[in-house]
Chain A
Amino acid sequence: MSTLTKLSAIPYTGPAPTNRQPYVPVDAPIADARGAEIAAKIANPAMTQETGNDMPTFLVERARIADVLRALHDHADLRFTLPLDLFGADYPNRRDGGRFDVVYQLYSLQNNERVRLKVRVAEDESVPTSVHVFQGYDWYEREVWDMYGIKFDGHPNLRRILTHEMFEGHALRKDYDPAQRWLLTEAGVSVIKPKVAPQFDQPEEDSDYERVTLNLGPSHPATHGTLRIVVTLDGEKIIGAESEIGYLHRCFEKMSETHTYQQVIPYTDRLNYCSAVINNVGYCMAVEKMLGIKAPERADHVRLMLSEFYRISDHIVCIGTNLVDMGALTNFWYLFQPREEIIALAESCSGARLLPSYLRIGGLAIDVPSDFLSNSQKIVNMLPRFIDEVEALVMKNRIFRDRVDGVGVLSQADAINYGFTGPCLRATGVPFDVRKTNPYLGYETYDWDVPVAEGGDTYARFLVRFEEMRQSLRILQQAIDRGLPPGPVMVDNPYVALPPKEKVYNEMESLIYHFKLIMHGIQPPVGETYFPVEGGNGEVGFYLVSDGTKHPYRVRARPPCFPIFEAFGKMITGQTIPDAIATLGSLNIIAGELDH
């Protein structure tokens, strides 16, 4: 390899790829030091610190995990109150300590820090449940059971969540064939009977009405596709609700493991398809973090601008369709007009409309067109009028206010305990935004505010979304004023970026680099990393494990919708069906990211 570099006409002097060498994050010493402090504070012998990671990481004894989580949650100096994620990973070749990892990631709103806990589980072992510490972990544990077959002792309702009832085996295990399907027939569909909430649990004879169980979805105009909610009604009042998901489980994680790093990008587009570019940014920056490279300034600038445009587009779809569900069709027509301009801008960059797949690891696929900035300015100029008009139409409208004020309330404490992020968390008064807490792409250099609303009801969520669009416009105006930095849009690293075509045809070295990259792909060093970005619905984080080959060993996308939809049953209990419809729209559940 090194001789190649010497002969190369490409002026590359950096190191050769660190294939199968361990990944050492730049901030590892800081994370290790902080990890030691946390360990000293908790002082639990079940915790062993794992060093050399991008955040404080601990290996926890299987039986004590719930205690450790409780201690981290309760400790006055730490307060890891926000459960970010829980997922599994399979290492069938590992000799010691069990085949599976169950990974917990927590966030502390008080200290703005993250922590990762790992539990090693053998095939026949089970883990004690932590639902009593974090309510949000209910569905996460079901997902780990579904995907890896790891049992959680004491879980109230441990059944499959993403795959269907007649599925056999556990799909994310490494020995599961990615294409092995199991057919679901009508006979296999289970009947769901939602539990009646305790505050309404009275003998049926005491009520004036007969109890009715009603299915909303999966094909229902208000569920936007693929969500299913089963509610028990006492008259018009919902006294019990249960949600069923998995109707769009298209195996993102398994598919990622069978593709190369660059090939995963289109799959990430299809997680939250309303704000595809933001997912691209999250994934590409996670891989770049592992490779230790940084995209050129020009690419970062375009990434930031497209992220903000897509965030606006995401909120437009959410507000527009939510209002359609409530009978206000006009706003949908209004808002889709500027949205179409945003989509056209992405089309002018990449050639694709909704899901551009425009980013590459190390930069952008191609440079932006010459009229990118002027077109952006046009959109930024036209958007405020549409936002103002729609806001004026609905936000002071008596009919609208009657339908959203105090509807679908979730308290701040519950929202945190479930693991809410994004606009839904900010609507309960928590100013958590990844762009502020863990700035990336240079968000810290822009002047903008995080909108926060009180109340946590549907109206508050509307307020936050409207204001967020304005803040995005502020960022965009500053980005346009700064102008696009000159220079390339792809890193100058032949182990990551393909050489230009004319060089491939004319130079031996470039041809070899091209061949190597196509055949062997990008090969990050061995290790794991996590990179969060602020998506349209909250924190989208990518957890990557690399084994040094061209395929990612494990890709986990943190789905912000997942805990939000989990809490939906609780939010609508005690309300009516129309309230449930209004609430569901305001949560902006995107099935693609909910079900992976």
Chain B
Amino acid sequence: MSVQKIDSPDTIIPRKPGVAPGEGPEKGLITLPGESERELEGLGGGSYVTTKLDQVVNWARGNSLWPLPFGTACCAIEFMSMVSSHYDISRFGAEVVRFSPRQADLMIVAGTIVDKIAPVLKKIYDQMPEPKYVIAMGACATSGGFYRAYHVVQGIDEIIPVDMWVPGCPPTPDGLMYAILKLKEKIERGEIRRG
């Protein structure tokens, strides 16, 4: 059978279960990121897909973020709201909150970082295994917020690299959730390469 490359994701027709793949490109039952690039081969009517190893790995990473809450202040309380019953981040696979940097891959810096805790933040970031991602939650972590003061770090990107900034003082749990989803998309696109 001829192999056709999918150029635009809009042309994908959802496949009905139980119907063998037709002539044109179709979507399998399993959706994977980067699907528009995959090449379909109709072999024996089975439904399976081929993909790049990178994409599978990124898909897995994006859907199972293990956050380390580096919560210092008010934002940490909103982080609690996000993991608890009403908002429930476990719907998006990021509920395994780990307080050990060795077991986490997403650091959520929730709250003001002051000069006294800055070396601690750096050390904990260094202890996280690759690949690692950082979300700066709230105005203080992003820029120092309205604390333009003698003891406050004016944005954590002075110390560590940041993948996502969340505005708000404090951001709503929805806002933080949106950042995690955006980060997930970014990871799945394979845009973040570090280390």
Residues of A within 8 A of B (CB): 162-164, 167, 171, 176-186, 189, 218-221, 224-226, 246-251, 254-255, 266-267, 270, 273-274, 317, 321, 332-334, 336-337, 340, 343, 353-355, 591-592
Contact = CB atoms under 8 A, between A and B. Distances in A.
A162 B77 CA distance: 22
Interface in B66-109: 70-74, 76-78, 80-81, 84-86, 99
Given A250-B149, A273-B74, 16 more contacts: A163-B151, A176-B150, A178-B149, A178-B150, A179-B148, A180-B150, A189-B119, A219-B120, A225-B71, A248-B111, A250-B112, A250-B152, A251-B152, A270-B73, A332-B84, A592-B73
Interface string B103-135: 000000001101111111011100000000000
29 contacts: A162-B151, A167-B151, A171-B151, A179-B149, A181-B150, A183-B115, A183-B118, A184-B115, A218-B120, A219-B70, A225-B72, A226-B72, A246-B116, A247-B114, A247-B117, A248-B112, A248-B114, A250-B114, A250-B149, A251-B149, A251-B151, A254-B150, A270-B73, A273-B73, A274-B77, A333-B85, A340-B84, A353-B172, A355-B170
Nearest to A166: B115
Contact of A177 (B74, B150, B169, B170): B150
Contact of B123 (A178, A186, A221, A255): A186
Leading 10 A-B pairs by shortest Cβ distance = A251-B149, A273-B74, A221-B99, A336-B84, A164-B116, A340-B86, A247-B117, A333-B85, A225-B72, A250-B147
Nearest to A273: B74
Interface centre among B74, B81, B148 (most CB of A within 10 A): B74
Contacts of A179: 148-150
Interface of B: 70-74, 76-78, 80-81, 84-86, 99, 111-112, 114-120, 122-124, 140, 146-152, 169-170, 172
A255 B140 CA distance: 14
Given A184-B116, A248-B111, A354-B78, A225 B148 contact: no
Given A354-B170, A355-B169, A333 B149 contact: no
Contact of B119 (A185, A333, A592): A185
B101 to A, nearest CB: 8
A544 to B, nearest CB: 20
A175 B93 CA distance: 51
Given A225-B76, A336-B86, A592-B74, A247 B150 contact: no
B73 A337 contact: no
A254 B99 contact: no
Contacts of A246: 114, 116
Contacts of A250: 73, 112, 114, 140, 147, 149, 151-152
Contacts of A178: 148-150
B115 A591 contact: no
B172 to A, nearest CB: 6
Given A184-B118, A355-B170, A591 B73 contact: yes
Contacts of A167: 115, 151
Interface centre among A164, A171, A186, A250 (most CB of B within 10 A): A250
